[in-house]
């Protein structure tokens, strides 16, 4: 059973609809205990890093996610679910205070800062594959277009787990990560047409092995 986490962030329904295209063996859950017997976990959502981590901690999900990661249960973070896999973020309502993430991946989440380009980075942009034949990228072509909407991105991250990057305003940043049983996309695969859905399908196949 794949558990799609309902932790108070947006974009749940489009994710559920996309998952249902490839499997009936999934559930939407707000119960942390469900993670222990899950074959896979999806962290979807739109919204702020601080709110996401606050909800995960208050609901008891954060500790269960750490246990699931240690148990090698496949975990897939989407958009804000991708960003919270990293060490911390400056996206906070508390001035001068960085909010800690789950810390599964090395990297700091920081805001884009451009004089002549719009923030958020919103719309279609293409993948620049850094690795081939990874689990998420099976049968996904280089330069495939994905749908983005975000103002923050990881910096100072490790390169060993970055499968694909994207370029905006001349800056390259990680948008697909894979590390052991950990997966994530900065873009929304469920909103990214056939190629994006293929990435989601590839994760679902991982949960079956």
Regarding the domain delimited by 2-206, which CATH topology (the fold level of the hierarchy) does it fall under?
A: Rossmann fold (3.40.50)
Active site residue 117: no
**The one catalytic residue among 15, 87, 178, 188:** 188
Q: Exactly one of 15, 79, 166, 178 is catalytic; which is it?
A: 79
Of 42, 67, 51, give the one whose Cα is nearest residue 99: 51
For 158-182, the pLDDT digits (tens) are 889 999 999 999 999 999 999 999 9
* Catalytic annotation present for 190: yes
Q: How far apart are CA 39 and CA 55, in angstroms?
A: 23
Q: Kindly name the residue from 87, 91, 190, 201 that is annotated as catalytic.
A: 190
Q: Catalytic annotation on 188?
A: yes
Full-model pTM: 0.95
Query: How many Cα atoms sit within 13 Å of 142 on the Cβ side?
Result: 7
pLDDT digits (tens, 9 = 90+) for 123-170: 999 999 999 889 999 999 999 999 999 999 999 988 899 999 999 999
pLDDT tens for each residue of 183-192: 999 999 999 9
């Amino acid at each position: 059973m794949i558990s799609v986490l309902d932790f108070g962030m947006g974009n749940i329904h489009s994710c559920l609809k996309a998952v249902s295209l490839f499997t009936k063996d999934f559930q939407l859950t707000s119960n942390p205990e469900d993670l222990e017997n899950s074959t896979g976990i999806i962290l979807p959502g739109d919204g702020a890093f601080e709110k996401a981590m606050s909800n995960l901690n208050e609901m008891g999900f954060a500790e269960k996610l750490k246990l699931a990661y240690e148990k090698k249960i496949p975990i897939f973070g989407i958009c804000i679910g991708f960003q919270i896999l990293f060490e911390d973020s400056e996206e906070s309502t508390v001035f001068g205070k960085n909010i800690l993430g789950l810390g599964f991946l090395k990297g700091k989440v920081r805001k884009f800062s451009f004089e002549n380009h719009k923030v958020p980075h919103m719309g279609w942009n293409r993948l620049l594959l850094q690795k081939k034949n990874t689990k998420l990228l099976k049968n996904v072509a280089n330069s495939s277009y994905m749908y983005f909407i975000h103002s923050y991105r990881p910096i100072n991250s490790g390169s060993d787990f970055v499968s694909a990057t994207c370029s905006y305003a001349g800056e390259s940043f990680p948008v697909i990560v894979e590390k052991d049983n950990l997966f994530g996309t900065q873009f929304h695969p469920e909103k990214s047409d056939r190629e994006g859905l293929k990435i989601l399908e590839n994760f679902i196949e991982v949960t079956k092995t």
